[in-house]
A and B are shown apart, each in its own frame.
Chain A
Amino acid sequence: MIQFFVYGINYKNCPVQIRETLHFREKRLPEAFQGIRREWPSVETLILSTCNRVELYFSTEETGITSEAVTDFLASFHGIDPCQFQSFAYRYEGREAVRHLFRVASGLDSMVVGENEILGQLREAFRAAQNAGTVDSVLYRLSERAIRVGKGVRTRTKINEGAVSIPSVAVELAEKIFGRLRGEKVMVLGTGEMSELTLQNLKEAGADLVYVVSRNEERGSSLAEAFGARWVSSESWTDRMVEVDILMASTSAPHPVVKREAVKRAMEERRHRPLFLIDIGVPRNIEPEINTLDDVYLYNIDDLQEVAQSNLRLRRNEIRQAEALIEEAVEDYLGWVEQLQAGPTIQSLQEYFDSLMAEELERLGPLAPEEKKRFEEFARRLRSKFLHAPLEALKESSRTGSVRRTLESLHTLFRLPVKTP
């Protein structure tokens, strides 16, 4: 019988240091597949290895691939002590394993619910396994189906709607104000790590960093250079406010450096062209009253976090609907597997009946062509009527998940030889 299971560790309980050591780098994947082939020659395998999870999916006719054996393989491949990760590992089998993969593909098992990256990572894992030739009918179909389920859940629910990280919320808000970003000018005050990350996101979305304001010229110039911008001293930046569309502040100043009066003046000069202010400094770098000015949209770190949380809540509300879609897909996939498992038995049953018929026709001795034709027609009709009931029973049991018992009964009753799908 076909068995599949997943063995892995993920971000939920396994520390990042251990995840890092167990991670399969792209270059070493072929070697890993070869190792698995050597260990278990007839299994189908898929390795999904990301920064948040390392999972090995197996489909096999063999019994007895124990968790210990997989643990040993991982330990020897990565050269670490099994005790370091064994307690974090999980194993799901059969239906649970299928459901798990579909949940992973849909982003329901991700750290950020509904994130899209995992679907691309699964696609890559599938491609790598295909290249290594370790996926055949069962895992091929399972992986393909998982990717389809992942896409379906994202289009039929709001599971991936709205940005959920600070930098992506900033980009989303900028796009709500300016539309698709096409060279909107950005000025940044301060050179904090978070501001760099947010700038990277804004740049990727199409904005253009033009000024970096910093008291430290060296650090400011280095950041400016990295983004193709200009360094501006902290004494002369206010005049540039008229030119920019997005101003981000992330300084270590103990008091607000962006004042309402300055922004008000700038807005008059800008003729109220919208201005997006992002304050990720703690304590705040931009006077909160600025948000009362028309056409100025000020978001501080708490506001950005609140939007991210609200989007995350929206996503979580979609989980139930996503789970229902996944459950439907699990049933569908398992139905297909059961039908696949029934195939060899059906073939054996047909062959068994054909051999009986041939034997009986042989016993009749030489027949006139007319008579032979009539007997053959009789045998054909009898075969089809005889097989109808067991085939229907098999179909029904593959729908209800009891195909294994039906197949065993057929094998026992007719002493059918065992064949593999």
Chain B
Amino acid sequence: MNPTLPVSILSLAGTLYFLAFLLHLAAFLGPVERANRWALVLVRVGFLVHTFFFFSEPKAEGLLIPVSTFGQVMGFFSWALAFVYLVLLAGVQSESFGLILAPLLSLFVGVGLLNYDSGSTTVPNPLNPYFVLHLGTAFFAYASFTLSFAAALLYLIQHRALKRKRGGSFYHKLPSLESLERLIYSPMAWGAFLLLGAVGIGLLWSKSAFGKFWLGEPKAVTTMGVALFYLALLYAHYVRSARGKRVIVISLIAFLMIFVSFFGTNLFGGGFHRLLR
């Protein structure tokens, strides 16, 4: 296969996501509600093309999941985002939510394409099933939390529009608070479950690759903290029936903690996860 072909396929996926964004924008600004439906079709086609890209990509560097460069991380993350929305959240999708999702997907793919060189990894035995599962679950978890975060922002915008008692585009076009709540908590539940899985599988992999559990590794510790924080939020919502703005604002704080856990530990914390850089 021509080495530039996979990148062309990724560009095609990015273009489809971008076209979907334009259609969502048309539906948001104008009366063409049907554009939302076409946009969702484009996102689905884009996702299929994106999936095909991962199979067509050369795996010379030995990683089953391509995350050895920043571009690859972005490319895979956007695919995980689309997967979570289209597959895991199939029951709670909202047509107008695509207005947030589609630009995120095209942005991440676009950024990924800027720096999509095949890199190599210093990870020992990158094809180890524990390692592959660890990466997959972690990415899907982050994608789920990103969706939950986006829905939380939309909730606050709609909440504000309702409080200010004025009509306008947001008030009319955004989903109801009820559906946005579903879009916040469903991916949050998936995310917490997957993140816990990622930590657990990561520990198993450290044992199999290095002979000991990396219990004190900075990213593992902070990630565990984030997962527990999210679990507490989910407990408050599903068991204690806590609802409304306050819990949603706390979920935004939880998402900021992910940033600290993901980037902060890489930049300042050292630890094993630096091997992946």
Contact = CB atoms under 8 A, between A and B. Distances in A.
A272 B178 contact: no
A305 B237 CA distance: 35
Contact of B162 (A173, A179, A273): A173
A271 B243 contact: yes
B128 interface: no
Interface in A265-317: 271-274, 291, 294-295, 297, 299, 303, 306-307, 310-311, 314
Given A162-B172, A176-B171, A178-B178, A272 B246 contact: yes
A291 B167 contact: no
B31 A273 contact: no
Given A175-B176, A178-B178, A295 B167 contact: no
B181 to A, nearest CB: 9
B244 A273 contact: yes
Given A299-B165, A307-B166, A310-B167, A177 B244 contact: no
Interface stretch (A150-158, A251-259, A348-356): A150-158
Contact of A297 (B32, B162, B172): B162
A161 interface: yes
A177 B245 CA distance: 12
B165 A178 contact: no
Interface in B193-248: 240-247
Contact of A178 (B30, B163, B176, B241): B176
B179 interface: yes
Nearest to B236: A271
A307 to B, nearest CB: 6
Interface in B124-161: 158
Contact of B166 (A156, A297, A310): A310
A155 B166 contact: no
A179 B176 contact: yes
Contacts of A180: 176
Given A157-B31, A271-B240, A273-B244, A179 B179 contact: yes
Contacts, number: 70
Nearest to A310: B167
Given A155-B31, A156-B31, A176 B162 contact: yes
Interface residues of B, number: 26
Nearest to B178: A179
Contact of B165 (A158, A273, A303): A303
Contacts of A297: 162-163
Contacts of A303: 165
Contact of A161 (B158, B172, B177, B179): B172
Contacts of B34: 155
A179 B94 CA distance: 11
B166 A295 contact: no
Nearest to A309: B167
Given A155-B31, A271-B241, A311 B162 contact: no
Nearest to A312: B167
A274 B244 contact: yes
8 contacts: A156-B32, A157-B31, A161-B172, A176-B171, A179-B177, A272-B245, A273-B244, A295-B244
The 9 closest A-B pairs by CB, nearest first: A272-B244, A179-B178, A295-B244, A179-B176, A310-B167, A158-B31, A303-B165, A294-B245, A271-B241
Given A179-B176, A297-B162, 18 more contacts: A157-B31, A158-B30, A161-B172, A162-B172, A173-B162, A176-B171, A179-B177, A179-B179, A271-B241, A272-B245, A274-B177, A291-B163, A294-B245, A299-B165, A307-B165, A310-B167, A314-B167, A318-B31
Interface of B: 30-32, 34, 158, 162-163, 165-168, 171-172, 175-179, 240-247
